[in-house]
Amino acid sequence: MSDTFAIGELGRATDTKVETVRYYERIGLLSQPRRTSGNYRAYDRGHLNRLSFIRRSRDLGFSLDQVRALLDLADQRDRPCEAVDEIARGHLAAVERKIADLEALRDELRGMVRQCGHGAVRDCRIIEALSPGDALAAAPG
């Protein structure tokens, strides 16, 4: 039974495009696999595990740099995991900030959309809300 995989199989197993797998190799996130006589990449279970880790981390929104750091840490099994915790906490904080930003934005957009009177553009509250207001209109000559 194959305990090596071609790049396409690896991609299907991890829901990753072939180009993306090669990209991860190029940027040094995934180690180079051995090659077959025909110069095809031949991956093993270690690669599969590593790529799964990468994809799961990416799905959780970690940047490639963070993933790289997490992978390095995951390899140092005896070290304390504070650094891991810190990366996760930092990312969590960033996600929470982003949610707050988007919620503020959502509220503004909701307000705009609610006020739209569906008349002519000249009376459109959305356009109005986007247009420079008092600060400019009241600019002293």
Partner DNA sequence: CTTGACCCTGTAGTTGCTACAGGGTCCATA
Partner DNA sequence: TATGGACCCTGTAGCAACTACAGGGTCAAG
When binding is defined by CB under 8 A, the residue of 48, 65, 68, 134 that contacts a copy of itself is: 48
CB 57 within 8 A of CB 87: no
For DNA, which is the closer residue by CB, 19 or 128?
A: 19
Between CA 90 and CA 96 the distance in angstroms is 10
Between CA 105 and CA 83 the distance in angstroms is 33
Q: Can residue 31 be called a binding residue for DNA (CB under 7 A)?
A: no
Q: How far is the CB of 38 from a copy of itself (least distance, A)?
A: 26
- Residue window 99-128: x/- pattern of binding to a copy of itself, with contact defined by CB under 8 A: x--xx-xx-xxx-xx--xxxxxxxxx-xx-
Q: Can residue 65 be called a binding residue for DNA (CB under 7 A)?
A: yes
Q: Can residue 50 be called a binding residue for DNA (CB under 7 A)?
A: no
Q: Can residue 37 be called a binding residue for a copy of itself (CB under 8 A)?
A: no
- Residue window 7-26: x/- pattern of binding to DNA, with contact defined by CB under 7 A: xxx-x-----xxxx-xx---
Q: Please list, in sequence order, all residues whose beta carbon lies within 8 angstroms of the beta carbon of residue 49, skipping any fewer than 6 positions away.
A: none
CB 7 within 8 A of CB 34: no
For DNA, which is the closer residue by CB, 56 or 79?
A: 56
Give ∠ CA 23-24-26 in degrees, rounded to 5.
60
Angle between helices 64-75 and 45-59 (to 10 degrees): 130
- Residue window 59-78: x/- pattern of binding to a copy of itself, with contact defined by CB under 8 A: -xx--------x--xx-xxx
